[in-house]
Structure 1
C-alpha cells in the first residue's frame, strides 16, 4: 500500500512540476541551435592547422578570445595535437579585416602546455 501511495505522489509531483522552465525541452533545443560568433574562425583554425600538421590528430580545441581592433581583429585558439607519442599545443591567431572578414594573417605558435 505504501509503494502505491508513493508512486501516486511521484506521478502527481512530476505532472505538477513537469512544466517548469528548467524542465522545458524547448529551452534545451534552442541552446543547442545557437552558434557562437567565433565558430567560422574555429573551423578555419582547425582546417589550417590540419594542413600545417598533416600527420597529427587534433584532440582538443579551445577558443581563447578575440582581440578587436578598429580595422583588424584577431581570433585566438589553442589546439591540442597528438603525433605518434608526442602531444603538443598550437596557439592559432587568425587576424582578419573587420569589414570584409578577409584573412590578413594566420600565426601558429607551438607550446608544450
Structure 2
C-alpha cells in the first residue's frame, strides 16, 4: 500500500511540476544592457561596474530609448552612470548613446 501511495504522490508531483516552466526568460532589454555595460567599460576602462539597473523604456514617435543606471567604482571613486540608448525599433539600428555621470 505504501508503494502505491508513494508512486501516486510522485506522479501527481511530476504533473504539478511540469505545469510550471522552470526556465528563466531573457528580458527584452538584455542586449541593450550589454551595450550599456560595454559603453561604460569603454568610457572608464579601469573601472568596475558595481551595480546595474534597467530604469525602463521610453517609446517615441520614430524611436525607442532604453535607460540604464550603472554604479561604477573607478579606482576608489564611486559614481552613477546614466546610459540612454536610442534606437529604431523596426530594425534595432542605434541612433545615439548618451552617458551622464551622476553623484548618486
Between Structure 1 and Structure 2, the one with more helix by share is 1
Match of 2:26 in 1: 35
Aligned partner of residue 95 in structure 2, secondary structure? strand
**Which of 70, 77, 83 is residue 79 of structure 1 equivalent to?**
70
Displacement of 1:84 in angstroms is 1.6
The higher-RCO structure (CA 8 Å, 6+ apart) is 2
Unaligned 5+ segments in structure 2 are 1-5
Match of 1:57 in 2: 48
**Which of 104, 107, 111 is residue 95 of structure 2 equivalent to?**
104
Aligned partner of residue 46 in structure 1, secondary structure? helix
Aligned-residue Cα RMSD (Å) equals 2.2
Unaligned 5+ segments in structure 1 are 1-11
Distance 2:47 2:76 in 1: 10
**TM-score, length-scaled by structure 2:** 0.80
Aligned partner of residue 20 in structure 2, secondary structure? helix
Larger radius of gyration: 1
The number of aligned residues is: 98
CA distance 1:84–1:35, change in 2 (3 Å): same
Distance 1:29 1:61 in 2: 25
